[in-house]
Every structure is written in structure tokens, then in C-alpha cells.
Chains A and B, each alone.
Chain A
Amino acid sequence: MKEKKVKVKSDAGVHARPASILVREAMKFPCDIYIIKGQMEANGKSIMSVLGLAITKGSSLIIRANGEMEEEAVDRISALIENDFAELASK
């Protein structure tokens, strides 16, 4: 299991579009990916689950992955959040 803490900097938080980008990236990894906010744990591969976390600016999240390629998955997802989904949204 791999974990990393990230803080959301984007004013817009994680609304539908960023959530879909996050989920799309998560789907590329074979391991289980979880986004944890407070006591809520969302499945990183499910849009509704990620949206349900109500991630806003300043939210502290834990990205957790378990299984094959967990290290890469945690790095990828946390980088995505820390960079405000910038590189992917522009594509």
C-alpha cells in the first residue's frame, strides 16, 4: 500500500470535469485507488464517488493505492491534483 497527502489549491475544487479527468487517469492503473477526505473514502475509479467527497479549495486529501503499480498510481494522481489538472485539461 502506498499513500500520499495532497492539498487542493484550485479555487474550483474538484467538480465534474476535473473528477472525470481524475477517474480517467485512475482507470489506467490496475491497482485499487482511494481518495480519502476526512472520514470519507472514495473509490478513485468512480466519478460519483469522487464527486461525493465535495472536494473544495484547501481540502486535505490522502491518495491511497493498493496493488500492482501502486507507486506510479499515487504519484500520478497526486501530481494531477497538485497541478490543478492543468496539463490534462488543456488537451
Chain B
Amino acid sequence: MKKQLRIRDILENTQKIDLQLNLITGREGIDKAITAIEINRPGLTLSGFFDYFAYDRIQIFGLGETAYIKQLSRERREEIYARFFSYDIVCCVYTHNEYPDEVFIEYAKKHKVPTFVTQHPTTRFISLLTHIVEAAFAESVTIHGTLIDVFGIGILLIGKSGVGKSETALELIERGHRLIADDMVEIKKIDESLLMGSGSELIRHHMEIRGIGILNVRDIFGVRSVRNRKRIELVAELQEWDANTHYDRLGIEEQVYTILDIEVPYIIVPVRPGRNIPIIIETAALNQRLKKMGVFSAQELDKRIQEWIARENDNK
């Protein structure tokens, strides 16, 4: 399915970026979908060259465009605007707090094209806007799992229904860690190495614990127990203990779990009564932090043992 972004979504962007947009036409057309990720500077178009006019992009009028229009005669402006608005324009933005002339506003209102004025300089505005638009068009996927921030490491708990993901998360929250999302985690690929996880806005920070029902984690445990989004740095799969499965005992080789073509360190945690899963998850987080700092416990122990064996052999 092709992604869509409405002008309204840009105004109410989730990153809380203030584009300082001032709507000078009516709100009509504000729910129109933007399908092109790029922006367009319509300089050439305003001069009368309409070939290759990228009308489906957000049109940005900088100082150059405004200055050019100002020195045109009213008749010429009318002529250009009539042609300009004969295309299905999505949205226009004037930067540097420059206002369009009344003829433009008239046409924009008539064609229901939302037009904004921003305080930002053109380059700054474009960079902010690109940030919002790219995030909106970023590849994303929803995964059945629980995302929790443990000692600053975003851990995605996955596993079959009923294996105890939510219970583990609850215990971790009790121990001072932070919940991002339970059961349904929306993951976005921000760039080639960064996966950002967040919860659906509607059910944010709620979880269901069998036997109790739906809980609002923020209300029960306080604001320190939650956060809205977190980079995913480790995937931990909870699996019912199976005597026939071979579980990793060394951790010398790192396993990975692939989400949206990005490889994330991955561990399988066997679950059985008596195993304290939250403590294991906490320790996995600490171990992951150590690895990030360049300390790899399993490999280092192995190195030490190999050195010791070599020394013993030399002494023989």
C-alpha cells in the first residue's frame, strides 16, 4: 500500500517539530494527501516554463520567488497564477515571513490550496520539513511484541501468546525500567541502521495482564515508568523450555534478528518455572551495553582460557 501523508499530519507531526506555519487561506484542502516525498521550488514555473512542473510536491516560495513575483505586472501575475493553479497543487509555503500578494491568496482560496507563511528561512524550513516527511514515509512494520527500555537499551521481547512477555515487562517496570509499547510495536526504519519502536497512540502505555485486565502503566507506576519511543537494540525471544532444543550456552557467536532488512542482536531466552526472566533480561541488557563499549565477556573469557592453555603448553 502506498503511504500517504496529509497536510494536517505535517502540522501535527509526532516529532513535535515547530515549522512555525501560519495558515493564510482556509482550512479547506488540509486533509489532502501528499504522495510525493520531495519539495519543489517553483521559480522556473513562475517565469512561465511549465514543462516538467512537479505540481504534486509541496511548493516552496523563497526570497527569490517572492522578489520575482513582486516585479511582475498585475496582468502577468494573474496570467501566471491562473496557469499555476490549473494544476492540482497540494500546498504552498512562503518562507522568511514573506506574504503572497492578494491575487495569489484569491487563487489559492478558490482552488482550495492551503497556503502557509513560515518564519523560517528556506533552507532551514526545507530541512525540517524533509525530516517530518521522511519519517512519515519511512518503511515500517508492526510486530507482536513488547518494547521496553532496560538500562538504556531498547529490548524487543517477542514470543508466542501466553509465554509471558507482558508479565516479564511488568516485573521490569516494577524494577524501574520503562515501557514503550506492549503487544503491538510499530517499528520504523529511520535510516539504514536505526530502527525506532513506538506504540499505537490510542493504546499507548496500556497493557493487558491476564487475571487483572487492562492497566494504564503510566497512571499506576508513574511517568518515570514509560517513554514514547526507543531505538531497538536487542531482540529477546521468550521460548517455552524444550529439552530437545539446543540453547546457546556460550554466547560467543552473536545471533541476529532481521527487521526491515536491519540486523539486530538476538537472543533466545528459554522460559520455565523457577527461571527469573526479568533478571535475565536485565543482565542481557547490561551485557549488550558492555558489547557496545567494546567488551565482549564470552569472547574475552575464551581468549583468557586459550592463553592459559598456551602458557601451560609452553611450560611443559
- Residues in A lying within 8 Å of B, measured CB to CB: 16, 27, 38-43, 45-49, 51-54
Contacts and interface: CB of A to CB of B under 8 A. Distances in A.
A16 B202 CA distance: 12
A36 to B, nearest CB: 9
Given A41-B142, A46-B208, A52 B184 contact: yes
A43 B161 contact: yes
Contact of A39 (B1, B207, B208): B1
Nearest to A54: B202
B6 interface: no
Most buried by B among A16, A38, A41: A41
Most buried by A among B1, B183, B214: B183
A48 B182 contact: yes
Contacts of B227: none
Given A16-B214, A48-B208, A42 B202 contact: no
B115 to A, nearest CB: 29
A19 B285 CA distance: 34
Contact of B142 (A16, A42, A51, A54): A42
Interface of A is mostly: mixed
B206 interface: yes
B296 to A, nearest CB: 35
Interface in B180-218: 182-184, 186, 199-200, 202-203, 206-208, 214
Contacts of B142: 39-42
A32 to B, nearest CB: 9
A47 B203 CA distance: 10
A45 B161 contact: yes
A39 B188 CA distance: 12
Nearest to A43: B144
B1 A52 contact: no
Contacts of A48: 182-184, 203, 206-208, 214
B144 A49 contact: yes
Nearest to A52: B200
17 contacts: A16-B214, A39-B1, A39-B140, A39-B142, A40-B186, A43-B161, A43-B183, A46-B183, A46-B208, A47-B208, A48-B183, A48-B203, A48-B214, A51-B206, A52-B183, A53-B200, A54-B200
What class of interface size applies to chain B in its complex with A?
A: 10 to 19
Contacts of A53: 200
A49 B1 contact: no
A52 B161 contact: no
Most buried by A among B140, B207, B208: B208
Contacts of B186: 40
A38 B142 CA distance: 11
Given A48-B203, A54-B202, A42 B1 contact: no
Contacts of A42: 142, 144, 184
Contacts of A45: 161
Contacts of A49: 144, 183-184
Given A39-B140, A49-B183, 20 more contacts: A39-B142, A41-B142, A42-B144, A42-B184, A43-B161, A43-B183, A43-B184, A45-B161, A46-B161, A46-B184, A48-B182, A48-B203, A48-B207, A48-B208, A51-B203, A51-B206, A52-B184, A53-B200, A54-B200, A54-B202
A52 B203 contact: yes
Contacts of A46: 144, 161, 183-184, 208
Contacts of B202: 51-52, 54
Nearest to A45: B161
Contacts of B199: 52
Contacts of A41: 142
A42 B184 CA distance: 7
A82 to B, nearest CB: 23
